[in-house]
Structure 1
Amino acid sequence: MYILITYDINVTSVKGQSRLRKVAKVCVNYGQRVQNSVFECKLTEAELLKVKKQLLDIIDVEVDSLRFYRLGDEYDKKVQHVGAKRTYKFDDALII
């Protein structure tokens, strides 16, 4: 399934800046960054539970927030992109 993970981390402290870096590192392992705090991911239900646990172990729920959007299987028909930073479709061949 396709999931959009977004986060808002309070970076007014050194600890907050550290949490922000840790959250981004976890998200990079599961999908592609499409904006600064937004990741598109193709995950199984088990992977979704795993990434949620990892992120919840990092954030401070008193000042930070996470959002998980289930986009469904035909997400590319629901998302319109305008501007810089092109992304790739998960099911397309990736040539490096």
Structure 2
Amino acid sequence: MDPGLMDLLLTYDVDATTPEGRRRLRKVAKLCEGYGTRVQQSVFEIATDDIGLLKLLAAATHLINAEKDSIRVYRLPKSGFEAVRTLGTARVLAHRDDFVF
């Protein structure tokens, strides 16, 4: 495990009642997909370093409407993803394994 990475849980709620809101929703989802793994509709597990977190938060700040949308980021304890308990179809995911292309 990379000691410089932190485990984060990111959740968002974007007001998608208008066409502009639906565009924001797609953009926020795409941004999060670039940083982590979707585990629920609007929930992502992310392993990143401090710089990655700052970049993610800066980008998200520019995408959302601060009066209508919300994003919450929870910093988990070290190895937080390894302690996840799942039920139903949910699976524990590998966040730090090497990628195979």
Q: Per the alignment, in what secondary structure is the counterpart of residue 7 of structure 1?
A: strand
- Structure 1 vs Structure 2 CA RMSD: 1.5
Matched, 1:89 2:97: no
Which of 15, 22, 29 pairs up with 2:27? 22
Q: Deviation per CA, 1:8-67, whole angstroms, max 9, x where unpaired?
A: 000110000000000000000000000000000001001000000111100001010000
Matched, 1:7 2:12: yes
TM-score by length of 2: 0.86
Corresponding residue of 2:65? 60
Report if aligned partners of 1:5, 1:66 keep a CA contact under 8 Å in 2: yes
Corresponding residue of 1:47? 52
Give the distance between the partners of 1:67 and 1:61, measured in 2 at CA.
12
Give the distance between the partners of 1:74 and 1:14, measured in 2 at CA.
39
Runs of 4+ aligned structure 1 residues displaced above 2 Å come to: 91-96
- The offset of 1:89, in angstroms, is 1.8
Aligned length: 95
Q: Per the alignment, in what secondary structure is the counterpart of residue 55 of structure 2?
A: helix
Give the distance between the partners of 1:80 and 1:3, measured in 2 at CA.
16
Unaligned runs of 5+ in 2: 1-5
Q: Per the alignment, in what secondary structure is the counterpart of residue 87 of structure 2?
A: coil
Give the distance between the partners of 1:87 and 1:31, measured in 2 at CA.
14
Which of 69, 73, 79 pairs up with 2:78? 73
Identity, % of aligned positions = 41
